[in-house]
């Protein structure tokens, strides 16, 4: 199916402005060149005029007109004792030169200023258009991913529910079906949670309430939640955090960050045919360093910053091995930043695993 691009008046207006600004910039360049040429022409014409005056003065002197009369008639002419007898007043020539330089300087400054303003406006507009195009592409990718993410668990829920309703399976089969139902519902729930979190972050509606939180307890709760799922998918999940380790965090933000990082690590490891995911935590100055290391598909080094952008998922939607919408790491970054922490990603390359490191502020009073 061919997709026709809808006419977007704002975009058309922005492009219209880019065209107008380009024309205006070209006009300014033309104006500068024209003014420079005009100034030079004016200067040459005055010099020629002075020369004519000198010739006329000389002719009048030849005819015996008194020097005072000649001098009154041609104020720009001076008398000299040499064979020429008259010449253009050097002061008049210097004034002419000064005037020319002043004019050229003014044209230079004014022209450069207008050009700078126009070029800056074009750059800002072009940058906005470029970012807009990128965001559109990512949103289209996001829409494709989200549609798939919603459709597949819904289809699976429908199948499980129909099987239970129509076939009345034996208890063990029924239990397996119910577990699958719950897993699918969890998947939908996580997805909707991500979309809602993103919307709240975008609108600045997120009010975090940082408090002293036991990292060990948060990690234990996470291990209980994802451990069985990881094991079922052939991934060994281990988590290590000293019992006394605490962070200054909003508990929900902390849980969301840890869950997203571990979830990603498990997905990447499953896509690499299984392996291990390890969460480690330890004090690091005023922070607690939390590292989630996996033996998954990894990524190319230049991707490490882009992964945290909204909707960004490397590759294209049809060929990607893992499911997702590209919101998880964006939410992670925003939450960590709101908590005054830092997050970074590292991989030695595709197929080499990855490590995501969060520096989370330690509780106040414990910041060595």
Ligand X SMILES: Nc1ncnc2c1ncn2[C@@H]1O[C@H](COP(=O)(O)OP(=O)(O)OP(=O)(O)O)[C@@H](O)[C@H]1O
CB of 199 to ligand X, least distance (A): 13
Nearest-angstrom CA–CA distance, 304 and 320: 18
Nearest-angstrom CA–CA distance, 289 and 183: 31
Lay out the site mask for ligand X across 193-222 (x = CB under 6 A, - = otherwise): -x----------------------------
Q: Which of 104, 114, 65 is nearest to 85 (CA)?
A: 65
CB of 294 to ligand X, least distance (A): 5
CB of 206 to ligand X, least distance (A): 17
Work out which of 218, 264, 335, 336 binds ligand X, going by CB under 6 A.
264
Q: Please state whether beta strands 275-284 and 77-79 pair in parallel, antiparallel, or not at all (unpaired).
A: unpaired
Query: Closest CB to Mg ion among 153 and 324?
Result: 324
Pinpoint the alpha helices (H) of the chain.
Answer: 9-62, 67-73, 90-167, 171-202, 215-232, 251-271, 328-338
Q: Tell whether residue 235 is a contact of ligand X (CB under 6 A).
A: no
Query: Closest CB to ligand X among 145 and 247?
Result: 145
Q: Tell whether residue 265 is a contact of ligand X (CB under 6 A).
A: yes
Nearest-angstrom CA–CA distance, 239 and 223: 7
Q: Please state whether beta strands 354-361 and 342-346 pair in parallel, antiparallel, or not at all (unpaired).
A: antiparallel
Question: Binds 295, which of Mg ion, ligand X, none (CB < 5 to 8 A, cut-off by type)?
Answer: none
The neighbour count for residue 337, using CB atoms within 10 Å, is 13
Phi, psi of 342 (to 5 degrees): -140, 150
Among 52-60, 166-174, 313-321, 325-333, the segment contacting Mg ion (CB under 5 A): 325-333
Q: Tell whether residue 328 is a contact of ligand X (CB under 6 A).
A: yes
Lay out the site mask for ligand X across 342-361 (x = CB under 6 A, - = otherwise): ------------x-------
Query: Closest CB to ligand X among 213 and 297?
Result: 297
Query: Closest CB to ligand X among 32 and 258?
Result: 258
Q: Tell whether residue 327 is a contact of ligand X (CB under 6 A).
A: yes
State the number of binding residues for Mg ion (CB under 5 A).
3
What are the contacts of 331-335 at 24+ separation with CB within 8 A?
Answer: 331/194, 331/197, 331/198, 331/201, 331/256, 331/257, 331/260, 332/256, 332/257, 332/260, 332/261, 332/308, 332/358, 333/308, 334/201, 334/206, 335/201, 335/206, 335/208, 335/250, 335/253, 335/256, 335/257
Work out which of 326, 334, 336, 358 binds ligand X, going by CB under 6 A.
326
Question: Binds 296, which of Mg ion, ligand X, none (CB < 5 to 8 A, cut-off by type)?
Answer: ligand X
Q: 71 and 97 in contact (C-beta within 8 Å)? A: no
Query: Closest CB to ligand X among 6 and 319?
Result: 319
Among 45-53, 109-117, 154-162, 320-328, the segment contacting ligand X (CB under 6 A): 320-328
Closest residue to Mg ion: CB criterion: 328
Work out which of 76, 264, 272, 347 binds Mg ion, going by CB under 5 A.
264
Q: 343 and 333 in contact (C-beta within 8 Å)? A: yes
User: Which conformational region is residue 189 in: left (phi greater than 0), alpha (psi within -120 to 50 degrees), or beta?
Assistant: alpha
Q: Tell whether residue 272 is a contact of Mg ion (CB under 5 A).
A: no
Work out which of 298, 328, 341, 361 binds Mg ion, going by CB under 5 A.
328
Applying the rule CB under 6 A, the residues between 272 and 311 that interact with ligand X are 294, 296-299, 307
Q: 275 and 235 in contact (C-beta within 8 Å)? A: yes
Binding site for ligand X (CB under 6 A): 194, 260, 264-265, 268, 294, 296-299, 307, 313-314, 322, 324-330, 354
Binding site for Mg ion (CB under 5 A): 264, 324, 328
């Amino acid at each position: 199916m061919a997709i026709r691009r809808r006419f977007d008046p704002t975009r058309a207006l922005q492009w219209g402005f880019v065209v107008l600004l380009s024309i205006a910039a070209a006009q300014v360049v033309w104006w500068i060149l024209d003014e420079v040429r005009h100034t030079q022409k004016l200067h040459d014409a005055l010099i020629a005029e002075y020369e004519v005056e000198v010739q006329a003065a000389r002719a009048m002197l030849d005819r015996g007109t008194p020097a005072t009369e000649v001098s009154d008639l041609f104020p720009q002419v001076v008398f000299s004792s040499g064979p020429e007898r008259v010449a253009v007043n050097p002061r008049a020539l210097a004034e002419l030169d000064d005037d020319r330089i002043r004019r050229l300087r003014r044209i230079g400054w004014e022209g450069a200023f207008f050009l700078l303003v126009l070029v800056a406006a074009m750059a800002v507009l072009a940058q906005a258009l470029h970012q807009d195009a990128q965001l559109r592409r990512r949103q289209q990718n996001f829409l494709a991913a989200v549609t798939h993410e919603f459709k597949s668990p819904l289809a699976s829920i429908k199948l499980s529910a129909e099987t239970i309703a129509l076939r009345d399976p034996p208890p063990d089969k029924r239990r397996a079906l119910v577990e699958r139902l719950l897993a699918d519902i969890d998947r939908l729930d996580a997805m909707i949670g991500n979309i809602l979190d993103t919307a709240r972050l975008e609108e600045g509606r997120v009010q975090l309430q940082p408090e002293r939180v036991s990292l060990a307890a948060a990690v234990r709760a996470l291990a209980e939640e994802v451990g069985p799922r990881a094991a079922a998918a052939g991934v060994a999940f281990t988590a290590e955090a000293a019992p006394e380790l605490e962070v200054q965090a909003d508990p929900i933000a902390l849980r969301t960050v840890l869950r997203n990082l571990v979830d990603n690590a498990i997905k990447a490891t499953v896509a690499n045919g299984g392996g291990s995911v390890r969460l480690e935590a330890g004090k690091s100055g005023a922070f607690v360093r939390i590292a989630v290391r996996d033996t998954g598909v990894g990524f190319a080094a230049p991707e490490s910053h882009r992964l945290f952008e909204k909707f960004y998922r490397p590759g294209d939607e049809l060929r990607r091995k893992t499911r997702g919408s590209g919101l998880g790491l964006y939410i992670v970054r925003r939450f960590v930043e709101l908590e005054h922490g830092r997050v970074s990603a590292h991989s030695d390359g595709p197929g080499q695993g990855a490590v995501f490191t969060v520096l989370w502020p330690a509780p106040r009073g414990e910041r060595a």
